[in-house]
């Protein structure tokens, strides 16, 4: 879902004319029954967050400001009462990617540096690691993206390939 804003929003040192989000209220693997997840994706620069990260207090304060601004914007557009229903908030940044996923400048450090997103969608992404047999990379290590659909698709494609290799029928449930 994309919300186009009447006036651009200055957030995390970037001017946004809309908010792009993924809504996950239907899948109990993402949230318990009766709950939901709203994932809002924002554009920002690595250098902006890297500079803030040098002072963890400033970094944490900016993440809080981002959360407040996004919540305020969502609540004032289409999600009246959202703030009072929220139980948890997380604001990952490009520094989060760097710390937890091992990326560089907020992006993935992939074994296959010749990544092409079109090849990934067509099933042509090589998810193997030279020297390892029956070992496959999936999720962000294989796709180099943070999008849930692309990472789930990478796992589905590997399972389909393993089934074909082993002579089993692939059925998605």
Q: What is the rounded distance in angstroms from the CA atom of residue 106 to the CA atom of residue 99? A: 9
Mean pLDDT by 10 residues, the chain (173 residues): 92 92 83 89 90 96 96 93 93 84 57 53 63 74 58 78 90 75
> What confidence score (pLDDT) does residue 169 get?
92
The pTM (predicted TM-score) of the whole model is: 0.65
> What confidence score (pLDDT) does residue 25 get?
81
> What confidence score (pLDDT) does residue 22 get?
87
* b/e per residue 140-167 (b: at least 16 CB within 10 A): bbbbbbbeeebbebbeebbeeeeeeeee
């Amino acid at each position: 879902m994309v919300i186009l804003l009447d006036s651009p929003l200055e957030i995390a040192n970037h001017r946004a004319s809309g908010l792009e989000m993924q809504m996950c209220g239907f899948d109990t693997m993402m949230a318990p029954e009766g709950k939901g997840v709203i994932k809002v994706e924002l554009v920002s620069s690595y250098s902006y967050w890297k500079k803030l990260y040098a002072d963890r207090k400033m970094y944490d304060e900016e993440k809080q400001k981002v959360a407040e601004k996004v919540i305020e914007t969502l609540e004032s557009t289409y999600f009246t009462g959202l703030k009072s229903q929220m139980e948890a908030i997380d604001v990952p940044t490009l520094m989060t990617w760097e710390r937890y996923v091992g990326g560089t400048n907020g992006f993935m450090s992939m074994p296959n540096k010749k990544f092409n997103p079109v090849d990934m969608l067509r099933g042509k992404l090589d998810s193997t690691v030279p020297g390892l047999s029956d070992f496959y990379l999936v999720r962000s290590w294989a796709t180099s993206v943070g999008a849930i659909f692309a990472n789930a698709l990478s796992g589905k494609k590997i399972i389909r390939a393993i089934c074909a290799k082993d002579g089993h029928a692939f059925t998605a449930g």
